Structure 1
Amino acid sequence: MDKRLHIVGGGMAGSEAAWQAANMGVEVVLHEMRPEVGTFAHQTGNLGEMVCSNSFRSDDHEQNAVGLLHWEMRAANGLIMQMAQKHRLPAGGALAVDRDPFAESVTEALTEHPNISVEYGEITELPDDGTWIFATGPLTSAKLGEAIQAETGSERLAFFDAIAPIVYAESINMDVAWMQSRYDKGETEEEQKAYLNCPMTKDQYEAFIDALMAADKTEFHEGETAGYFDGCLPIEVMAERGRETLRFGPMKPVGLTNPHDPDNKPYAVVQLRRDNALGTLFNIVGFQTKMKYGAQTEVFKMIPGLQDASFARLGGIHRNTFLNSPTLLDDQMRLKSRPNIRFAGQVTGVEGYVESAAMGLLAGRLAAAELLGKNLQTAPQDSAMGALIHHITGGAEAKTFQPMNVNFGLFRPVEGLKGGRRGRKDRYKAYTDRAKVVFQEWLDGQS
């Protein structure tokens, strides 16, 4: 009998699953189809390659659910959080990373681990025996997707993710733009100036919206319907919801003062965030797009400060596949029809790098414990990780199931706390305090 754990997919979830299982003493085979089989979005064959963004979002573990998830993953000796911290970039209160060195470090850590071997090549079928985790992410290959569809007996659910463009810093006009984090957030001057800001007047904003709406967009293939995850909407889709939508979203001007013209508040502001440690690349925050390449350069060069912008990467759009996990997976993340197979990451119906890695962490530990003959329960429901896995494997309504970020709405109420906006700070602190206790107890019970 094969006592190895096979993991398919070397993204956030698969890499974290391999790391956790290997550290528990299990022999792991990590299967990655890249670079032999490429994808639309990936540019390298590295494990843990970041595609859509270089941010893990808020690192506040007392008032933010994703920050709490950071804390739990660090407590569990998570590889993704270790490497994110090692390659951290200034981003105000967010955890942003230098994506290429990050992926290189993840790859090095996994390939040098004595319990991990990496095999390159595409897996196209669901195996009948052995212990497997499928963490193939939003870009599950067509053949494997067909095998999953055949096994689950239902049509694959899908939505579309869009990628934001990246600009060379040297091509940005700093006589127009300036560096400042919103509300000067951050403990150091570097953090307080982590974002590059491009101001717009009302006339410039209106002209930009007109051009955005009129630009040529990517068309979908026959038979595909366009559904989007709300946390990653293309900018033109947001604009279609109302001309002021962007000004109250990624282009909101609040908390910023233009030092070039301090007496006049911008009508709208486009923010860019550093994308690498050298500071030579900046991505346009919230500007995921499905515009065609030629249209992107024309429209984005209308942004003051980006008139002469040179793009290291233009935006794009890709299909994201996920399971109807409430009907298909048990609370151990196993496929009910084939309990030798677990799923992890975005394919389970979580959204975001952090959530994907967290589900990989959990799947890796559960699978390793099973191989070692141990009875490990899933993460406690009052932890961030537990609240998320409870939601996707039973707490969500199956008929309307859609990908979900971690958020405090998934948490069970804390008794004795009042609701409403005034009590929110105390409520969130109570959630995080409780979560840290139960999660640490869960970890201690495995040692």
Structure 2
Amino acid sequence: MRVHVVGGGLAGSEIAYQLVKFGIETTIHEMRPIKMTPVHKTGLLAELVCSNSLKSDDIKNASGLLKREMELFDSLIMKAAYASRVPAGKALAVDREKFSKFITDTINELGVQIINEEVIQIPEDTKEIWVIATGPVTSNYLCEWLEKIIGENLYFFDAVAPVITADSIDYSIAFFADRYGVGTKDHLNCPMNMSQYEKFYEALINAEVIPMEDFDKGLLFERCMPIEEIAKSGKMSLLFGPLRPVGLIDPRTGRQPYAVVQLRKDNVEGTLYNIVGFQTRLKWNEQKRIIRLIPGLENAEIVRYGVMHRNIYINSKKVLDPYMRLKTNNRIFFAGQITGVEGYLESAASGLYVALNIYRMINNLNPVLLPKTTMMGALLDYISGGSERNLQPMYANYGLLGGYRQPREQIAQKALEDMKQFLKKVGLIKGDTGESTIEGFE
């Protein structure tokens, strides 16, 4: 039986990689580059459109634990991330192009069929398995079909930060440092005194924004809040958010600046930098004017402007079963951000889970649930389990695992041990001989 994956993002790519290893014929239907989205720039698989950071690599951080769990699954996304890593302190940040090219090349080498076309609906009489992993910028035609099938589509607005060239930065002002001297000085910092901050703040809150149909601040996801919306919540809001200066010392003055704008490498060569926390829907001419008010960025050359777009997700609690299948048709699975998980790795992790249950379904085995004591299991239980209330997007966090009185290292150790036992039970983990009990799994 052939499996059809609609969407070649992180979740779709991960699913295809895992299924082919299981010996299952797989097709990815990806409309790019035949039809582009408002935020994608290439036709590569798993293109990153927001930040180039996959968040912390420290296991005391929920994202760090999620990474370790995904590695136990032999995740393609994790392999690509480490192969394309750029310096970013404790965070795992990647070179966008190298990351996507690694995944695209791997998928092609494995013989996955890739069809560049827009899928507008799933065939009604299909006997094959389909996975909808179209992500937050699902095409309008497919959204219309989904509305007919599930009765509702929820959405929220998301924003992307600008990227500038490294050689347009004034390094006599900007300095390399990580907070409290911890790390390898991977962040570039642009310090502001009080008068510079106030001038920047006033310009930001009075700048023109791109109008968006149905825009509602209540639908903004907190972690991708546009900087101008943060600023409008109060004059000091940025100083406790993306411009927080705590733990940084300006070498020119020997003191902590009043505010700091941080930049992070966007590629391995270090020729591009993205402005951390500067997601925005400002008009492009306004972005250029305001960014150039930042000390050290007076001559900034912007190679990618910040944009804002509508992110689509479904109410998984209402329409999906715990195995991420449509309740009305168990041959249609969902994976990735369209399910309500928030974040690059969270999307890929859902793909790992879906691929496992597709394998089991094809081989006439019962689907399985991940242990709720694991980060992956707790996250996916939150997304598809519980009551049929409206779903709010969720990213990996230790709150999902409870155990507030336990050290996080202990929680993580139990999560990893439980995941290992689970994977051993279902035949995905390698034994002492280095072999798996699943045919086709290497």
TM-score, length-scaled by structure 2 = 0.94
Distance change >3 Å, CA 127–CA 412, structure 1 → 2? farther
Q: Distance in 1 between matches of 2:288 and 2:266?
A: 19
| Partner SS state of residue 407, structure 2 | helix
Name the counterpart of 1:253.
245
CA contact (8 A) 1:57 1:95 kept: yes
1:148 to 146, 170, 176: 146
| Partner SS state of residue 251, structure 1 | coil
- Asked if 1:370 corresponds to 2:355, the answer is no
Q: Distance in 2 between matches of 1:292 and 1:356?
A: 30
Q: Distance in 1 between matches of 2:81 and 2:375?
A: 19
Q: Distance in 2 between matches of 1:383 and 1:316?
A: 35
Tell me how far 1:5 sits from its aligned partner.
0.9
The range that moved more, 374-383 or 166-175, is 374-383
Name the counterpart of 1:118.
114
Runs of 4+ in 1 over 3 A off after TM superposition: 223-226, 397-400
**Aligned pairs for 1:64-143 within 5 A:** 64-114=61-111, 116-128=112-124, 129=126, 130-143=128-141
Tell me how far 1:224 sits from its aligned partner.
4.7
**Aligned pairs for 1:261-272 within 5 A:** 261-262=253-254, 264-272=255-263
Q: What amino acid is aligned across from residue 96 of structure 2 in structure 1?
A: R
2:209 to 217, 226, 229: 217
Q: Distance in 2 between matches of 1:297 and 1:334?
A: 45
CA contact (8 A) 2:263 2:274 kept: yes
Q: What amino acid is aligned across from residue 253 of structure 1 in structure 2?
A: P
- Asked if 1:242 corresponds to 2:238, the answer is no
| Partner SS state of residue 385, structure 2 | helix
Tell me how far 1:368 sits from its aligned partner.
1.9
Q: Distance in 1 between matches of 2:379 and 2:123?
A: 27
CA contact (8 A) 1:162 1:234 kept: yes
CA contact (8 A) 2:317 2:389 kept: no
2:10 to 9, 12, 31: 12
Query: Deviation string for 1:17-56 (max 9, x for gaps)?
Result: 1111111121111111101111111110000111001010
Q: Tell me how many residue pairs correspond in the alignment.
A: 424
Q: Distance in 2 between matches of 1:23 and 1:145?
A: 31
Query: Deviation string for 1:131-190 (max 9, x for gaps)?
Result: 011100011000000001110012x1111110000010000000000011222223xxxx
Name the counterpart of 2:440.
none
Q: Distance in 1 between matches of 2:133 and 2:141?
A: 15
Q: What amino acid is aligned across from residue 358 of structure 1 in structure 2?
A: A
Q: Distance in 1 between matches of 2:176 and 2:366?
A: 52
Cα RMSD, aligned residues only: 1.2
Name the counterpart of 1:207.
199
1:410 to 400, 405, 427: 400
- Asked if 1:352 corresponds to 2:364, the answer is no
**Aligned pairs for 1:36-75 within 5 A:** 36-61=34-59, 63-75=60-72
Query: Deviation string for 1:360-399 (max 9, x for gaps)?
Result: 111111112211222241211111100001000113x543
1:315 to 295, 298, 306: 306
Tell me how far 1:412 sits from its aligned partner.
4.1
Tell me how far 1:240 sits from its aligned partner.
1.2
Name the counterpart of 2:414.
434
Q: Distance in 1 between matches of 2:6 and 2:190?
A: 42
Query: Deviation string for 1:275-300 (max 9, x for gaps)?
Result: 00110000000000010000000011
| Partner SS state of residue 156, structure 2 | strand
1:25 to 13, 23, 26: 23
CA contact (8 A) 1:382 1:412 kept: no
Q: Distance in 2 between matches of 1:311 and 1:167?
A: 4
Q: What amino acid is aligned across from residue 63 of structure 2 in structure 1?
A: V
- Percent identity over the alignment? 44
CA contact (8 A) 2:247 2:256 kept: no
Tell me how far 1:326 sits from its aligned partner.
0.6
CA contact (8 A) 2:164 2:272 kept: yes
Q: Distance in 1 between matches of 2:21 and 2:407?
A: 35
Give unmatched runs, 5+ long, in structure 1. Answer: 187-191, 414-418
Q: Distance in 1 between matches of 2:21 and 2:350?
A: 17
Give unmatched runs, 5+ long, in structure 2. Answer: 428-442
